[in-house]
Amino acid sequence: MNIAISHEGTDFDALASMFAVSKLYPGTRIIIGGSVNRNVRRFLTLYGTFFDYSTEKELDWKSVKKIWVVDASAPSRSGKAEELIQNGEVAFAVFDHHPETTEGLKGEQVIIQSTGACTTILVELIKEQTLPLNSLESTLLILGIYEDTGSLTFPTTTARDLQAAAFLVEHGAKLSAVPDYVNMQLTNEQRDVLKQMVNSLTVVEVNGIQVHFTSVQVNDYVDGVSFLVHKLMDLEEINVLFSLFDMENKVYVIARSRLEEIDVSTITAGLNGGGHKSAASASIKGSSLDEVRKKIITMMKHSFSFTRAIDIMSTPVKTVHRDSSINEAYLTLIRSGFSGLPVVNDDEMLVGIIARRDMEKAIHH
């Protein structure tokens, strides 16, 4: 038996990628292991009978001959299949869109490409082989692309994702299903967690960069926390965010970055996680929220450094008092050779900037 597996916490990109593999390689069975995101669970409740899938508990692992690993390239994210893969007992192949990690799988076929969604890579293969798709199948595939690219708006979105989505629309994908499954309303539990995230929000300056942290402890596992992280970033206009969740004896880290210079996947890789430059995650056992937070700050300090104003500025700083005349300010400017001067008050606090052209206009006037 050949099977397709993905990471725990099955999202639409994982489910759609597994289905695409079953389409490309007939006879491959979709295996869902661990937790399933709420929106995916709702989809399977309605349409699960149209897709040939099983759970890990229902599978006879001794009958497995080949494993297709999708939307994950690290053994630690592949559930019960990890033992078979590590021991070399089965053949396996990988389709993924996350940067390859040091513990990445080395199968007989490993395709890792930079796209917004893993589904995109497999849709391209379906297109190449001119395989038929019905409306429901196309809808599942487009949900995989839309969810992992934030409806084609995340920085990781590529032209290939848009082209794959267009191909699926041509084959009957229902875009009207996207808001039903990708932009679902928050549950009461999610609202409570989002409120805790807002209340626990703190800022740490790391090498001149404002890094935000949230630390939330919840009794039970909460679906869709990654969606809450995006919500919080939009609410607070945050550039770099590490959200820490203590759930079920694990600390889950979800990291997001809007800065080109900050690659959060390098930090989560140090926590045995993975992801993209702008979106990454990890889960840690045996550590507290505070311990994980301190470790992230330490790694950030050693991983990123930037040229700061103090590194390139002229010293000593030449300033002009706000009560100085234009002629006095202009004379100071000429003597210093600068093109502008900071304006300060009696307490030497910055109150403005005046440029040479402003002075020349004033003198001319």
- CB contact burial 150-169 (16+ within 10 A = b; e otherwise): beeebebbbebbeebbebbe
Compute the residue count for the chain.
Answer: 365
Please give the C-alpha separations between residue 347 and each of 150, 155, 326, in angstroms, as whole numbers. 48, 44, 20
Q: CA–CA separation, 49 vs 320, rounded Å?
A: 76
pLDDT over threshold 90, residue 137:
yes
CA 320, 322, 326, 327 dihedral sign is: negative
Q: Among 120-134, 136-150, 216-230, 256-270, which is the least confidently predicted range?
A: 216-230
Classify strands 250-257 and 240-247 as parallel, antiparallel or unpaired: antiparallel
Local confidence band at 102 (pLDDT 50, 70, 90 cut-offs)? very low
| pTM of the predicted model as reported, rounded to 2 decimal places | 0.67
Q: Which residue has the tokens 């491959």?
A: 28
Give the 3-state secondary structure of residue 49: helix
3-class secondary-structure state, position 147 = helix
Report pLDDT digits (tens) over 40-74. Answer: 988 999 998 898 888 888 888 788 888 888 988 65
What pLDDT score does 365 carry? 86
Question: Is the predicted pLDDT of residue 225 greater than 80, yes or no?
Answer: yes
pLDDT in tens, 201-222: 999 998 888 999 999 998 877 7
In DSSP terms, 53 is beta-bridged to 30
Separation between Cα atoms, residue 200 and residue 198, nearest integer Å: 6
Q: 160-199, pLDDT tens digit by residue?
A: 999 999 999 999 999 999 988 887 677 788 889 999 999 9
SS3 breakdown of the chain: % helix, strand, coil, rounded to 5? 40, 20, 35
Dihedral Cα 162, 165, 169, 175, nearest 10 deg: -100
pLDDT value of residue 106: 62
* Measured distance CA(22)–CA(156) in Å, rounded: 26
Q: Are 240 and 259 in contact (CB under 8 A)?
A: yes
AA letter at 86: Q
Average pLDDT over residues 21-50: 89
Average pLDDT over residues 102-117: 74
pLDDT at 100: 60
Give dist(CA 266, CA 206) in Å, integer. Answer: 15
Under the banding of pLDDT at 50, 70 and 90, the label for residue 309 is confident
**CA proximity to 64, closest of 133, 113, 3:** 3
Instruction: Answer yes or no: is pLDDT of 108 > 80.
Output: no
Please state, rounded to an integer, the average pLDDT across all residues of the chain.
87
| Structure confidence at residue 79 (pLDDT) | 57
Cα-based distances in Å from 57 to 53, 60, 80, 221: 12, 8, 10, 20
Residue type, 181: Y
Pick the residue with more confidence: 288 or 35? 288
In the predicted model, what is the mean pLDDT of residues 293-309?
85
Say which range, 27-31, 32-36, 68-72, 349-353, has the weakest mean pLDDT: 32-36
Is the preceding omega at residue 316 within 30 degrees of 0, hence cis? yes
- pLDDT of 342 > 70? The answer is yes
